[in-house]
Structure 1
Amino acid sequence: MAEDASPELACVILAHSDPDHLHRLVEALDPFPVYIHVDARATDDMFAAITADLPARATVLPRRPTAWATWGAVEAEIEGYRAALADGGTTHIALLSGADYPTASIAEIRGLLRDHPTDSFSVSAKLPYAQWGRTGGFDRLRYRHWARGKRMLRLPVPRRLPRDVVFAGGPSSKILAVEHARAVVDTYDTQPELVRFWRRTWSSDETFVNSVLNTPRFVPGWQDHHVGDVFLWWIDWGGPRKKSPPWIDTEALPRVLARRWAPEQAIPWMFARKFSTAASSAVLDELDKTYGLRQGAVATEAS
């Protein structure tokens, strides 16, 4: 990379609701290109509102159903990577939800990527993962699963696991160097038996890509170019166990602005979840002001 070249981040956004926040997120990510997937289960009116009046740097991806804990979210992620790789001009690709928002300036995000030009940021653990219950997460793989609403349906008949795969899991949010994203897409395209297997794993968006990345025959040298000791997203999973984090409101603002769980955390988080227009507008205004986000949009709104 040339000395003065600014690394570019392509952002794949998986959305299903809240058009106002989605548009605000796209504005906050300027000038990064964005690739937007809208859940096929969203109404036509919702889809039209989300995709209306997007800037030229935004690409709308073909729609798939992306129900919670199902394979559709993986397909949307892969197609986002595929589109970003085809357009080129980027060094990294981030996977975000439509309820995310930056907690850093664009210059700081670029600076982090400049310091890690070939590195990926993904928190993943090889299975068994102690936080995933008695089997360490292997029950997600050994049995076929379906989801109905936010309930798990499991066929209680074990199946054989694929050979020569390093099984791993972790949050689906990540920033991948383009070579790692390309390896994920190539594996998806050339390993149909893995795709068939993973279609019926539980929360496959937390295990498929992470397992591909940790398997040397798919991604040689991953461990040498993987920054996995800090999660770049602030998500409030504290308190009672729940399936989704709460909306971020003004009460949470000091913790979001702290940007570190502990003083010794070397890299501050760059994004947070989850925001909504209804619950988070005041917090989002403060983030814009603090990190200089949406400057063009704010100037237009003020005029």
Structure 2
Amino acid sequence: MSRPAVAFLILAHRGPEQLGRQARRLLSPRSSIYLHIDRKTQPALFSAIRAALPEHPHLHLLDRMSTPWASWNTVEAYLRGLQRILDEPEPPEHIVLFSGQDYLLRPVERIVDFLEPYAGQTFAATWPMPSDVYGPDGGMWRIRYWHTPIRRRRFRIPLPRPYPAGVRPYGGSAFMVLDRATAQSILDYTREHPEVPRFHHHVWAVDEHYLQTALNNCERSGVVIGEHLWHMEWTLGAAHPHTFTLDDFERLADSARNSSEAGGVSRAKLFARKFHDEVDSRILDRIDEELLSA
């Protein structure tokens, strides 16, 4: 079997059937999966997830850690996953940061073909802070104050903290496609500048800030293509993106075929977020039948 050119690094905590469906669509001779399941997932549910996953030599289960909502551990799980992938004898050229509620809008072979000409380049939607994306104060309150999540609620100490000297803060999507050299550069930056990850342990919504900051402050910042390859839809003021149903299919299909600004500008969307099969599995059925079976 050939060396995978693309690895999907997935963080998940639920949805056995949805994860099984996702895995079957993502795996191929040219692609692989590195799957992290939250350590807090109950044993019965974890067993159901294991049972739903296909047997495949390119499917790897990662060592588990607790990844509470909005916590540093979500970033730490991605960092550990990146290191695990880069430790392979022949690491893939691209690593896709994914979640269990993402799904493809194009067949995985077409995704690999799309990325192939961009060896040594990264796709990521990021922006310097402060940013109008985050409303009043440009979102600097997320960074300036010490935060921690407690039972899915935000707790903060309203005393400003000095940001690490010489570092420009960034925000952006948690979902990106990293080339191999840039993934290594992010890990190197994290190791060489321990004050930056240490500070970000208590940044709010840190998955929207740390990797983006490391990416834009490391030596590989010049290889970033500022396109977001995920179709996402947000309602003003909402804490989470829209969950797609069958009624949304035509918009998703259009994004898969044409340039789109849904969730950030890109020449076309390869993926979409988010889906929940207990809300509506019919949208996944139709994507499978009409977009992924060609």
* TM-score (norm. length: structure 2): 0.90
Q: Deviations over 1:23-61 (max 9, x none)?
A: 111111021111111112211111222223542211111
Q: Which residue of 2 aligns with 1:281?
A: 281
1:7 Cα deviation after fit: 7.2
Contact persistence 1:212–1:219 (CA under 8 A) = no
Contact persistence 1:68–1:150 (CA under 8 A) = yes
Q: SS of the residue aligned with 1:135? A: helix
Q: Which residue of 1 aligns with 2:270?
A: 270
Aligned counterparts, 1:125-204, within 5 A: 125-204=127-206
Distance 1:106 1:22 in 2: 15
1:69 Cα deviation after fit: 1.3
1:112 Cα deviation after fit: 1.8
Q: Deviations over 1:76-131 (max 9, x none)?
A: 11111111111234110001110111001223212221221111110000111112
1:10 is aligned to 2:12 = no
| Segment of structure 1 superposing worse, 273-282 or 70-79 | 273-282
Distance 1:45 1:190 in 2: 40
Q: SS of the residue aligned with 1:156? A: strand
Q: Which residue of 2 aligns with 1:46?
A: 45
1:24 is aligned to 2:26 = no
Q: Deviations over 1:191-242 (max 9, x none)?
A: 3222221111111111111111111xx224x23x1111x311111213x421
| Segment of structure 1 superposing worse, 141-150 or 254-263 | 254-263
Equivalences, count: 283
Structure 2 regions of 5+ residues with no counterpart? Answer: none
Distance 2:114 2:261 in 1: 19
Cα gap change, 1:207/1:262 in structure 2, threshold over 3 Å: closer, same or farther?
closer
Q: Which residue of 2 aligns with 1:301?
A: none
Contact persistence 1:33–1:58 (CA under 8 A) = yes
Q: Which residue of 2 aligns with 1:66?
A: 67
Q: Which residue of 1 aligns with 2:92?
A: 90
Q: Which residue of 2 aligns with 1:251?
A: 247
Q: Which residue of 1 aligns with 2:109?
A: 107
Contact persistence 2:9–2:78 (CA under 8 A) = yes
Distance 2:15 2:158 in 1: 38
Cα gap change, 1:266/1:40 in structure 2, threshold over 3 Å: closer, same or farther?
closer
1:283 Cα deviation after fit: 1.6
Identity of aligned residues (%): 29
1:262 Cα deviation after fit: 5.9
Contact persistence 2:233–2:242 (CA under 8 A) = yes
Cα gap change, 1:47/1:188 in structure 2, threshold over 3 Å: closer, same or farther?
farther
Q: Which residue of 2 aligns with 1:56?
A: 57
1:122 is aligned to 2:120 = no
Contact persistence 2:147–2:157 (CA under 8 A) = yes
Contact persistence 1:7–1:110 (CA under 8 A) = no
Cα gap change, 1:41/1:97 in structure 2, threshold over 3 Å: closer, same or farther?
same
Which residue identity lines up with residue 58 of structure 2 in the other structure? R
Q: CA RMSD in A?
A: 2.1
Distance 2:49 2:140 in 1: 37
| Segment of structure 1 superposing worse, 5-14 or 249-258 | 5-14
1:6 Cα deviation after fit: 9.0
Distance 1:128 1:246 in 2: 25
Distance 2:189 2:49 in 1: 31
Cα gap change, 1:117/1:9 in structure 2, threshold over 3 Å: closer, same or farther?
same
Contact persistence 2:4–2:32 (CA under 8 A) = no
Q: Deviations over 1:133-187 (max 9, x none)?
A: 3322222121110112332111011111101112111010000011111111122
Distance 1:27 1:60 in 2: 15
Which residue identity lines up with residue 63 of structure 1 in the other structure? R
| Structure 1 residue corresponding to 2:225, chosen from 224, 227, 250 | 227
Distance 1:104 1:93 in 2: 17
* TM-score (norm. length: structure 1): 0.87
